Chains A and B, each alone.
Chain A
Amino acid sequence: MKHDFEPKIVAFVCTWCTYAGADLAGTSRMQYPANVRVLKFPCTGRIDPVFILKAFQKGADGVLVSGCHPGDCHYMAGNFHARRRFAAFRKLLEFVGVDLARLEFSWVSAAEGGKWVEVVTDLTERIRTMGPLAEFKELETEEHWSGRLETAELKEAYNNI
């Protein structure tokens, strides 16, 4: 089925759990929308909120961040720090005017091919109904999202980490 709007979804995933889960969906020949582009990280702990902003800037309509279930982190606590960081980051995203529904956090383990399919499908559908993210692209020229602590919001977000 063709749609008027094919959103671009960027997924930031960890190598050990979600990337492997997506592999499993592949080896099991499950099907899901082709809108998602997967970027691999060692751990969700490595994912800097700045990357998410950057992805939105670069035309992503939705972003998925997915890693190991709490307690299963390959690096023991990386995903725990990630979660705390993202909690602070949500505020920041709201501030710059991105609807939080465009950002999804999930846990997908290496054994959860089916869950990966579900998460990706649901997010794609959701973003499809939301339409393209226009507002934010205008910010593209502004390069101050480089992670420097210049705005009060970023500072606060970082202090909350």
Chain B
Amino acid sequence: MSRIGVFICHCGENISRTVDVERVAQVTARLPGVAIALDYKYMCSDPGQNLLKKAVAEHKLDGVVVAACSPRMHEKTFRNAARAAGLNPFLCEMANIREHCSWVHEDREEATAKAIDIVKFTVSRVKKDRALAPITVPITKRALVIGGGIAGIQAALDIADAGHQVVLVEREPSIGGHMAQLSETFPTLDCSQCIMTPKMVDVANHPNIKLYTWSEIEEVSGYIGNFQVTVRRKARSVDEDKCTGCGVCMAKCPQKKIDNAFDRNLGTRPAIYVPFPQAVPNTPVIDRDNCTRFKTGKCGVCEKVCGPGAIDYGQQDQLIVEPVGAIVVASGFDLYNIGPKPADSPYEGYGEFGYGAIPDVIDGLTFERLASASGPTGGKILRPSDGKEPKQVVFIQCVGSRAREKGISYCSKICCMYTAKHTMLYKHKIHDGQAYVFFMDARTPGKNYDEFWRRAVEEEEAVYIRGMVSRLYQKGDKVVVMGSDVLVGVQVEIEADLVVLATAVQARTGADLLAQKLGISYDRYNFYSEAHAKLKPVECATAGIYLAGACQGPKDIPDTVSQASAAAAKVMTLFAKDQLEREPIVARVNERNCAGCLACKKVCPYGAVEEKEIRDRNGNLIKTVAYVNPGVCGGCGTCQATCPSKSVELDGYTDEQIMAMIEAL
């Protein structure tokens, strides 16, 4: 037989005006299991709380109901009071007779009857309450950052500066991402390399950052505070510790004519290479697909010329397990390709623009390489087909973006701005050239952004044409652009020397695979989903994983860096405590009953349900059951409502508790 104490609050007159609190006390005092029922003017006041504490001690109460305001107001207050009196806080419940009763009903009799009902079913519930211990999870104070673009670099530096260890994993041989490819950056036109390289060097030199380039995430397990991440360090064929970065190997490698992807294939590189001169680390990697030695066994020049003996053809991929407590995903974006649709792509290509087969039709990133002082042309804008200086350049915005017929309906957010930038860079380099821009809208809502665009129009004399282009075709050495100016209402034809397409920002190819490894969700375009568009823009729904940069959606550098710092701040907030404490409202599986159907796993929005193998003493598999990871479970209870055999229960909301309430109605 339980001993429950019921405390009914007057809330000044807020409750007692319509609810006959004394009667409620009288009636509830007679309920089975109720040891004492009192009413009091202000339960939340110090004397009120003391009343409760005293009663717990005096009457040896094993459960408490406070009939007062909404639990959203004072549940914490009374649970703390109960804890202070030596009672498990989760044995204290509130009955809401203010917001749900006295304030919304006028008839005193009805309101009193309702208040009695509310107290009654709450008492029944408390009888079935179980003592719960808050869950604490230890935190490994090391962070993993995936992707070494500006987002990953910023997040890694912020976390490392706060004194925590960071593991930064980058897929390419060097960090830098797309920003390293840019020439100058809007809205201030500072040189990308100049502001980027110092940060890259900081990463390399930071004592708290462990940098794995030429590496991939192989597997992720665990949960917030306790992830185990397996990193695959791909064989570089160069010993990073021995290599001094002298570059002799690259100079001597006879295999020099390989398309340089970093330069958008405008230039070439050797088989042993760093993607660009300022690469971090400045350690080359052998491109085994193109190296003569790996293909025919014949060469070996680099090994001969390398003074420190850093070349190691026999190097193997290495798997390294890193324990971390938080993960920042910063894997960035890819650019939409106008070529014919590959079988596995959801996006159509641009047949009307020649499917990318016209040599002087390039994308914005290629233009960045042409304009970059360290690019393949040394910063001279020369067109790919014949290396001539283009005098008429046509830019086309929204290529692939905002085109649902191609499969993408979103706006890529950055291309209005970088196109304006391109017209300026072009004008600065080719004074007698003319830039034309076909556009639908100029989307420039950022600080100093619209001014920037207007400058391109007014001072740099770019001709903006409000309309789209139907078709591009080669005519002699020109590219004919068939467009329209919808403001004038006529067709416009321009014989261009070069056409630059502002192609859509799209999610990384394979972004979904990384998401599946991490257990985070992504939208229909494969951009990673934040937990809440406005209020949790850097958190994933999966606890302990945060997002930074263009992997979440198209973003420019200022937004990327802000989000990266925000993600770092979230990681630091997590690391500020030694242990993670959370409400123990989590689901638990009764392994004996569980049939292992995993219906719960299918519905769990948090991915908290795992498979667990039950084995006998000899290690033979008896069955597979569900296991709810308490670190991950959000406490929604969907699994319990779904489980056909009622084998999973949500603490604090067990079937028993709820049925008891319904029975008492």
Contact = CB atoms under 8 A, between A and B. Distances in A.
Interface in A12-50: 19-20, 22-23, 25-27, 29-32, 34, 37-43, 45-49
Given A46-B650, A75-B605, A81-B603, A26 B98 contact: yes
B541 A76 contact: yes
A77 interface: yes
A72 B110 CA distance: 34
Given A23-B70, A78-B636, A82-B638, A147 B665 contact: no
B117 interface: yes
Contacts of B117: 37
A42 B641 contact: no
Contacts of A39: 121, 658, 661-662
A75 B113 contact: no
B44 to A, nearest CB: 16
15 contacts: A8-B665, A10-B665, A19-B72, A26-B103, A34-B113, A34-B114, A38-B96, A41-B637, A48-B655, A76-B606, A77-B605, A81-B638, A81-B641, A147-B655, A161-B603
A83 to B, nearest CB: 11
Nearest to B664: A58
Interface of B: 70-72, 96, 98-101, 103-107, 110-111, 113-114, 117-118, 121, 521, 531, 541, 585, 599, 603, 605-606, 634-638, 640-642, 644-646, 650, 652-653, 655, 658-659, 661-663, 665
A55 interface: yes
Contacts of B585: 42
A85 B642 contact: yes
A51 interface: yes
Contacts of A37: 114, 117-118, 121, 665
A9 B520 CA distance: 40
B262 to A, nearest CB: 39
Nearest to B113: A34
A51 to B, nearest CB: 6
Contacts of A58: 662-663, 665
A31 B662 contact: no
A26 B70 contact: yes
B522 to A, nearest CB: 13
5 closest pairs, A vs B, by CB? Answer: A46-B637, A26-B99, A45-B638, A75-B636, A34-B110
Interface in A50-67: 51, 54-55, 58-60
A93 B637 CA distance: 22
A158 interface: yes
A134 interface: no
A75 B585 CA distance: 13
Interface string A85-117: 100000000000000000000000000000001
A139 interface: no
A75 B652 CA distance: 17
A8 B541 CA distance: 38
A27 B644 contact: no
Nearest to B640: A46
B170 to A, nearest CB: 30
Nearest to A47: B641
Contacts of B640: 46, 48
A32 B646 CA distance: 36
Contact of A43 (B107, B121, B521, B636): B636
B450 to A, nearest CB: 32
Contacts of A77: 603, 605, 638
B638 A46 contact: yes
Nearest to B117: A37
Nearest to A8: B665
Nearest to A149: B644
B100 A23 contact: yes
Contacts of A74: 636
B662 A41 contact: no
- Interface magnitude class on chain A: 35 or more
A19 B70 CA distance: 9
Given A31-B106, A34-B111, A34-B113, A42 B100 contact: no
A140 to B, nearest CB: 11
Given A26-B100, A42-B637, 15 more contacts: A23-B72, A31-B106, A34-B111, A42-B650, A45-B636, A46-B638, A46-B640, A46-B650, A46-B653, A48-B640, A60-B665, A78-B636, A82-B638, A148-B645, A161-B642
Contacts of A149: 644-645
Given A45-B637, A75-B634, A34 B105 contact: yes
Contacts of A40: 71
Contacts of B541: 76
A81 B658 CA distance: 20
A31 B107 CA distance: 10
Contacts of B652: 42
B662 A38 contact: no
B79 to A, nearest CB: 15
A43 B99 contact: no
A40 B104 CA distance: 18
Contacts of B659: 51, 54
A6 to B, nearest CB: 8
A158 B643 CA distance: 9
Nearest to B103: A26
Most A CB within 10 A of own CB, among B71, B113, B642: B642
Contacts of B110: 34
Given A26-B103, A34-B113, A161-B599, A78 B662 contact: no
Nearest to B663: A58
A75 B70 contact: no
Contacts of B599: 161
A22 B111 CA distance: 16
A27 B653 contact: no
A41 B117 CA distance: 18
Contacts of A25: 99, 104
A32 B107 CA distance: 11
A51 B665 contact: no
B662 A51 contact: yes
B105 A42 contact: no
Contacts of A75: 605-606, 634-636, 638
A27 B662 contact: no
Contacts of A27: 99, 103
Given A22-B100, A75-B636, A46 B641 contact: yes
B272 to A, nearest CB: 48
Contacts of A51: 658-659, 662
B93 to A, nearest CB: 10
